[in-house]
Amino acid sequence: MSKLLISATVNGDAQQFLCDSGATLLDALRDELGLTGSKEGCGSGDCGACTVVLDGQMVCSCLVLAAEAEGRTVNTIEGVAEGSELHPVQRKFLEKGALQCGFCTPGFIVASKALLDHNPDPSESEVRYWLAGNLCRCTGYDKIVRAVLDAAAELRQERVPA
């Protein structure tokens, strides 16, 4: 079976990779591009550990074919920080102790950033419903929700012109 050559913009960089026609975007990110920050918890769209942003849209990369990324823009957990500057969501996760094992964390951070990009002032229940596709077995979600609400507040502060 011959492989497909795919060109896509990944975390701002032009990338090319080879993949089987049946390979998922998650497989390609992890195995071809070495971006193992996106995790496979289920492979069926039920845990959110593989969450990435594809052309501005939050998706489970285990449900997207790698070939579908052709010509598109993919943003993963590895691209959330600006250089060595953590995104406020990442910083708040650390400050609030919002991770234990950390395996779900990349998915939560990508999903939370996507929420705040689109709704800068979510209520607690908006946060909870937005993140309902991301499973965390360690934390009971309490500290995750607090971290996201705190990050939202901080981002709103930043946006206020001085």
Partner 1 sequence: MNAPQDKTAFRPAYRVIGTRPVRPDGVDKVTGKAIYGPDFVASGMLQGAILRSPHPHARIRSINTKKAEALPGVKAVITGADFPGLAALEVAVGESSGNIKHVGRNCMAHEKVLYAGHAVAAVAATSSVIAEEALALIEVDYEVLPYVLTIDEALAADAPLLHDDIFTQGLDPKPTKPSNAALRFTIGRGDPDAALKGAHTVISGTYSALPVHQGYIEPHACVASWNADGQAQIWASSQGAFMIRSLTAAILGIALADIRVTPLEIGGGFGGKTTVYLEPVAMLLSRKTGRPVRLTMSRGDVFRASGPAPGGTMDIQLGADADGTITGVVMEFKLLGGAYPGSDTHPGAMSALAHYNIANSRVTGWDVLCNMASTAAYRAPGAPQTIFPVESCIDELAMKLGIDPIDLRLKNAVKPGDVGVMGMAAGEIGYVECLEAAKAHPHYSAPLGPNQGRGVAGGTWGNYGGPSTAVVSVSEDGSVLVTTGNPDIGGSRASMAIMAAETLQIPYEKVRVTITDTSSIGYSMLTGGSRTTFATGKAVIEACEQVIATLCQRAAAMWGVDAEQTEWRDGAVYCLSGDKQGSSLTMGQIAAKAGFSGGPISAEVSLNAQGFLPAFGVHICDTEVDPETGNVSVLRYTVVQDVGTAIHPDYVEGQMQGGAAQGIGWALNEGYVFDKDGRVDNPGFLDYRMPVCSDLPMIDTVMVEKPNPAHPYGVKGVGEVPIVPPLGAVGNAVSRAIGIRMHDLPLTPDRVYAAIKARA
Would you say 64 or 116 has its CB closer to ligand FES? Answer: 64
Q: Which residue has the tokens 């769209």?
A: 45
Residue 125 makes contact with partner 1 by CB under 8 A: yes
For residue 63, give the amino acid letter. L
3-state helix, strand, coil in the chain (%, to 5): 40, 20, 40
Yes or no: say if 40 and 55 are a contact pair by the CB < 8 Å rule: no
Would you say 10 or 50 has its CB closer to ligand FES? Answer: 50
Show the site string, 52-81: x = touches partner 1 by CB under 8 A, - = not: ------------------------xxx-xx
Residue 60 contacts which entry, ligand FES, partner 1, none (Cβ below 5-8 A, type-dependent): ligand FES
Yes or no: say if 103 and 44 are a contact pair by the CB < 8 Å rule: no
Would you say 15 or 90 has its CB closer to partner 1? Answer: 90
Task: Look at the alpha carbons of 99, 105, 126, 88 in this order and tell me if their dihedral is positive or negative.
Answer: positive
Q: Coil, strand or helix: which one is 10?
A: strand
Binding site for partner 1 (CB under 8 A): 20, 22, 30, 35-44, 46-47, 49, 76-78, 80-81, 86, 90, 93-97, 99-106, 109, 124-125, 127-129, 131-146
